[in-house]
Amino acid sequence: MKYLLVHQGEDDKDAFWGRCAGVEGMFVDKVPPPREVLTLRGCAPEGLLRDALTPTGEPTALLGDVCVEIWNEEQPLQWWSLVECVVIAHQPNRDDPTLVDVVVGAGVEEEDAWSHTLPTTPRFKLFAGPARTLGSAGQCRAVNGLFATRDAPAPTPLRLIGCEPAEPLLAVLRRPHKWDRDWLGLWALDRTGRVMHRHNVDLSIEVARPSALGGSLLDIELTGGGDDRPPLLARPIWETWHRGAPTTRNQWAPLSLQGRSEWLDLTATGMSEQGPDRAGGVHHLDGTYVTDAPGLHCAMAEALAGPGGYYGREWNAFKDCLHGGFGVTAPFTLIWHDAEVARQALADDIWDTEKGLTYFEEIVQLLESSGVTVVLR
């Protein structure tokens, strides 16, 4: 059995609801939203948006994902994401030539349907850039096309294959509509029985039928399997971890940037199993394959917590780990071998725009300010 079904009660205790041999639909690539054309009216552009506008009005740059927040006088009311936003054209605003109207193409994602009353003088604040360093792109007076009605993409069902339900789940299945408004934990196990990943699913049962695996087992189809399912490229990574937690370094090295991020997600499951903090000593970081930020954190975790260990997935989580509670705490010495690989690979990954620090430089500065002696070789 590769998966446990676990329900968390009101007392926060986990109760066993069953187990299953496999899951179909666990790995799903996110469907991008359809492309739309929107007009940002009366913009005072800043940052990336200002840089994207040229006097000729020609399309100049991909802005990446742009966040649009609508504010009243005091606070934001709601936000939207303009996915892979690109400038199509721009021209002076008709009512105020000091402002600009910008036509963009983007996919539009919204967390919730608009349910507010539009303020008398709304402010649309714009933010653009990498997710962790989202910077101001200015603001505008209106966004034509933003409030359109959009159909949610059809959910991809999740099928529990070869399920052996415990009594609580059997009780749900015996209900006339076989449906319950609740969440269920779906815990993936490696072959030793160790939990390697925890995923929550909405217990919205579409159908339960005798399993293709035979016996008294069931195949249970859930209408929705959660919005945070790993992508298809994570499947072989999970198979690697299913054989047991990594015991050798750099198994993540051949992976793409996104694959390395999925690897880091699997290390996080065991973050509470790393024992009491210890200070001092010398730790060696193999920088041979540190060619992106996720690779940096893969190598850093292996240096400080061993293969498969957790020590943060990004800057903020890494900073938290340095404060203690994750097996290693300052002071200690970190010898970073082949540091020049990361320095060059992350040269364009500017983290601190005011100081002009790259992600590599920011990590080194964070280590040193936390009491770590960093030796770059």
Average of pLDDT values for 47-56?
80
Burial class (CB in 10 A: 0-12, 13-18, 19+), 78: middle
pLDDT of residue 183: 84
pLDDT-wise least confident of 35-44, 117-126, 368-377: 117-126
Average of pLDDT values for 131-137?
74
Last residue of a domain, one of 109, 144, 179: 144
Q: CATH no. for residue 297?
A: 3.30.370.10
Same domain, 139 and 214: no
pLDDT of residue 206: 87
Same domain, 101 and 212: no
Asked whether residue 227 is assigned to any structural domain, the reply reads no
pLDDT of residue 355: 79
Same domain, 269 and 213: no
Q: How far apart are CA 268 and CA 233, in angstroms?
A: 18
Average of pLDDT values for 107-133?
84
pLDDT of residue 176: 67
Q: Give the count of domains, the chain.
A: 3
Same domain, 23 and 41: no
Last residue of a domain, one of 184, 207, 222: 222
Give the C-alpha distances (Å, rounded to integers) separating 199 from 4, 169, 189, 227. Answer: 10, 17, 12, 10
Average of pLDDT values for 219-244?
92
Asked whether residue 230 is assigned to any structural domain, the reply reads no
Q: How far apart are CA 102 and CA 98, in angstroms?
A: 13
Same domain, 80 and 138: yes
270 falls in which pLDDT band (50, 70, 90)? Answer: confident
For the chain, give the number of residues: 377
Average model confidence (pLDDT) for the chain? 91
pLDDT above 90 for 210: yes
Average of pLDDT values for 23-27?
95
Last residue of a domain, one of 144, 163, 194: 144
Q: What domain range is 189 assigned to? A: 3-28+154-222
Q: How far apart are CA 361 and CA 132, in angstroms?
A: 16
- Which residues fall within 8 angstroms of residue 75, CB to CB, at 6 or more apart? none
Q: What is the pLDDT of residues 285-301, one digit of tens each?
A: 999 999 999 999 999 99
pLDDT of residue 55: 61
* 201 DSSP β-pair partners: 184
Q: How far apart are CA 285 and CA 289, in angstroms?
A: 11
58 falls in which pLDDT band (50, 70, 90)? Answer: low
Neighbours of 94 (CB within 10 A): 10
pLDDT above 80 for 111: no
Asked whether residue 234 is assigned to any structural domain, the reply reads no
pLDDT of residue 189: 96
Asked whether residue 53 is assigned to any structural domain, the reply reads yes
Q: Which two tokens stand for residue 142?
A: 């209106």
Average of pLDDT values for 62-78?
91
CB 27 within 8 A of CB 38: no
Q: What is the pLDDT of residues 253-263, one digit of tens each?
A: 999 999 999 99
Q: What is the pLDDT of residues 143-183, one digit of tens each?
A: 999 999 888 888 888 999 999 999 999 998 888 665 556 78
Average of pLDDT values for 305-316?
94
pLDDT of residue 60: 54
* 189 DSSP β-pair partners: 195
Same domain, 290 and 263: yes
The full 3-state SS of the chain, as one line of letters, equals CCEEEEEECCCCCEEEEEEEEEEECCCCCCCCCCEEEEEEEEEEECHHHHHHCCCCCCCCCEEEEEEEEEECCCCEEEEEEEEEEEEEEEEECCCCCCCEEEEEEEEEEECCCCCCCCCCCCEEEEEECCHHHCEEEEEECEEECCCCCCCCCCCCCEEEEEEEECHHHHHHHCCCCCCCCCEEEEEEECCCCCEEEEEEEECCEEEEEECCCCCCCEEEEECCCCCCCCCCCHHHHHHHHHCCCCCCCCCCCCCCHHHHHHHHHHHHCCHHHCCCCECCCEEEEECCCCCCHHHHHHHHHHHHHCCCCCCCCCHHHHHHHHCCCCCECCCEEEEEECHHHHHHHCCCCEEECCCCEEHHHHHHHHHHHCCEEEEEC
CB 164 within 8 A of CB 217: yes
Task: Go through 173-204 and write b for each residue having 16 or more CB atoms within 10 A of its CB, e for each that does not.
Answer: eeeeeeebeeebbbbbbbeeeeebbebebbbb
Of the chain, the percentage scoring pLDDT greater than 90 comes to: 70
56 falls in which pLDDT band (50, 70, 90)? Answer: low
Task: Go through 222-261 and write b for each residue having 16 or more CB atoms within 10 A of its CB, e for each that does not.
Answer: bbbbbeebbeeebeebbebbbeebbeebebbbebeeebbb
pLDDT of residue 51: 87
